[in-house]
Amino acid sequence: MIDPRPLEDVDAQVADLIRADVTRQNSHIHLIASENFVSRAVLEASGSVFTNKYAEGYPGRRYYEGCEVVDEVEILAKERAQALFGAEHANVQSHAGSQANLAAYFAFLEPGDKVLAMGFDQGGHLTHGLPVNASGELYDFVPYGVDPDTELIDMDEIRRLALVHRPKIVLAGYTAYSQVLDFEAFRSIADEVGALLMVDAAHFIGLVAGDAYPSPVPYADFVTGTTHKALRGPRGGLILSREEHAERIDKAVFPGMQGGGIFNQVAAKAVCFLEASTPEFRVYAKQIVLNARALANRLTAEGVRVVGGGTDNHMVLTDMRSIDEELTGKKGARLLNSVGITCNFNAVPFDPRRPFVGSGIRFGTPAMTTQGMKEPEADETAGLLAEVLRHRDDPVALEELEVRIRKLAGAFPAYPEGFPGHV
Ligand SMILES: Cc1ncc(COP(=O)(O)O)c(C=O)c1O
């Protein structure tokens, strides 16, 4: 029989851990560029009984019986994604962004085929050919980077590399880069060398949904993404494509990359696509960018160097060496977290340090914007975090700064009523 008792009564340890993380989430200013806070509706769908259903295959073509309802959920999620992004086809089954990327490669590449993508040490993702990742093991990634002087992507250099290497896929997309990509220029380079254009929009797909970033959909053959970053949905991946690629992509996701979809997450994706199609979401997405600019401006004014000179998206990559040559990203990020500002260390382009230490810290504004913060709070946050980094060896100053940070965070809790509907 199904145990009807609530989590608290069944497993007090896990219930306590959830409560502890609600407290952590409510008492920090959250500046991890890839994180966000989902709505109660997304949490409910994600915690729903769809977790019980096995449904390998696609609507109407399942390998299990009893899929009538999950078929409807998947169709709903797919149609909402297509409408939201103006895409001819959407696959909503990928368990995560990495799986979406690997499925896209699997759909169009043979082992050893060439892909031109942003290097990991320049702002690309590990699924863009890092040797320890399956992408790097299976395919021949040619990295491009940023210009050493401007720290911006140089389309002429990408074109030059494409002409030399003749890749099968040109990949546009990043995990640490603060500018808008020129999708039209990427398209024309791909066309010139007869390559497919793939855009990994994991980071900015939420901004695209809210009209705060140009859409890659009209230019790309296929676009991969995550639903859990700025898009403010459940953890998961998605692939948008032209109709001509639909069959190959669907086949690469299932049975190529995975078995059954995670249908509680697919249901939550459907909810997130609905939420992202509202006028409120467009206001939210634009505020994310305004907050990132306010953060970047104040950091610059405080003498913290912003890589690339500013931001046009939700992300601000900073160079700790502008505070102190000896200060690593890792040390700075640890310190900030200890006083209530959560962020992550990151390599900066041409970083002499190992990626596991890094000279930079990446800040992002999707979560703080969901917390309800606007430019004045972004400005204040940047001022506080610069002070923390400057006073890193002064425990008295740090204590005083922590009080101010906790006060600001406490005024904008993500979940003022605790873990909605559960603990
Ligand atoms: C550009 C890019 N692609 C793919 C991913 C992978 O997403 P996931 O962590 O869901 O596998 C990320 C995650 O940060 C990313 O930044």
Q: What is the pLDDT of residues 1-11, one digit of tens each?
A: 999 999 989 99
Catalytic residues: 54, 56, 200, 226, 229, 235
Q: Is 33 in the pocket of ligand 1 (CB under 6 A)?
A: no
Specify the pLDDT at position 417. Answer: 81
Mean pLDDT across the stretch 219-246?
98
pLDDT at 147 exceeding the cut of 60: yes
pLDDT at 419 exceeding the cut of 80: no
Q: What is the pLDDT of residues 324-360, one digit of tens each?
A: 999 999 999 999 999 999 999 999 999 999 988 999 9
Q: Which of 281, 110, 300 is closest to 210 using CA atoms?
A: 281
Question: Rounded to an integer, what distance in angstroms lies between the CA atom of residue 162 and that of residue 142?
Answer: 9
> Which residues have CB under 8 Å from 58's CB, separation 6+?
74, 250, 254
pLDDT at 423 exceeding the cut of 60: no
Q: Is 226 in the pocket of ligand 1 (CB under 6 A)?
A: yes
Q: What is the pTM of this model?
A: 0.97
Mean pLDDT across the stretch 360-384?
98
Question: Rounded to an integer, what distance in angstroms lies between the CA atom of residue 352 and that of residue 116?
Answer: 23
- The overall average pLDDT reported for the chain is 96
Specify the pLDDT at position 416. Answer: 87
> Which region, left, alpha or beta, applies to residue 8 given φ > 0 means left and ψ of -120 to 50 means alpha?
alpha
**Rounded to the nearest whole angstrom, what is the distance from the C-alpha of residue 411 to the centroid of ligand 1?**
31
Q: What are 21's two structure tokens? A: 């993380």
**Rounded to the nearest whole angstrom, what is the distance from the C-alpha of residue 38 to the centroid of ligand 1?**
18
pLDDT at 420 exceeding the cut of 70: no
Q: Which residue owns the Cα nearest ligand 1 atom 16?
A: 175
Question: Rounded to an integer, what distance in angstroms lies between the CA atom of residue 146 and that of residue 154?
Answer: 6
Q: What is the pLDDT of residues 77-101, one digit of tens each?
A: 999 999 999 999 999 999 999 999 9
Q: What is the pLDDT of residues 267-314, one digit of tens each?
A: 999 999 999 999 999 999 999 999 999 999 999 999 999 999 999 999
Percentage, residues of the chain above pLDDT 70: 99
Q: Is 362 in the pocket of ligand 1 (CB under 6 A)?
A: no
pLDDT at 404 exceeding the cut of 70: yes
Percentage, residues of the chain above pLDDT 90: 97
pLDDT at 74 exceeding the cut of 70: yes
Domains of the chain in sequence order: 44-276 (3.40.640.10), 279-410 (3.90.1150.10)
pLDDT at 410 exceeding the cut of 50: yes
Q: Is 96 in the pocket of ligand 1 (CB under 6 A)?
A: yes
Q: What is the pLDDT of residues 19-43, one digit of tens each?
A: 999 999 999 999 999 999 999 999 9
**Rounded to the nearest whole angstrom, what is the distance from the C-alpha of residue 187 to the centroid of ligand 1?**
22
Q: 41 with 273: CB under 8 angstroms? A: no
